[in-house]
Amino acid sequence: MVLRMTDDTTTDITRPQTLTMYGATWCGDCRRAKRVLDTRGVEYVNVDLVADPTRADDAEAISGRKNIPVVVFPDGEFFVEPTDAELTAKLDAVGL
């Protein structure tokens, strides 16, 4: 389930209350990661960097890179361009 980003959804971009994915519709890796999350029925916040380009600074601040997607878990762990296997393993580990 995709949630809309609101001001109260997260107070710390490095430790969001809900899994958060920074990405763009033109990005193949973003679409793939989104498909993994959607298929599993994971609740997450999708930050569309095309709709809100200023949020790209947040993604870079978290990862230290300009690559997307950046997938941030509530425990503070994040992945940049994760493979399906990496993302699935982390989702399994946190029970999502």
Q: What is the residue extent of each domain of the chain?
A: 2-85
51-80: average pLDDT:
97
Tell me: pLDDT of 78 over 90: yes
Residue 79, C-beta contacts closer than 8 angstroms, at least 6 positions apart = 70, 71, 86, 87, 90
Residue 38, C-beta contacts closer than 8 angstroms, at least 6 positions apart = 2
Tell me: pLDDT of 9 over 50: no
**pLDDT at residue 12 in the model:** 87
**pLDDT at residue 11 in the model:** 59
Rounded CA gap, 96 and 39, in Å?
Answer: 11
> When comparing pLDDT for 5 and 23, which is higher?
23
pTM of the model: 0.88
**Domain 2-85 is found in CATH 3.40.30.10:** yes
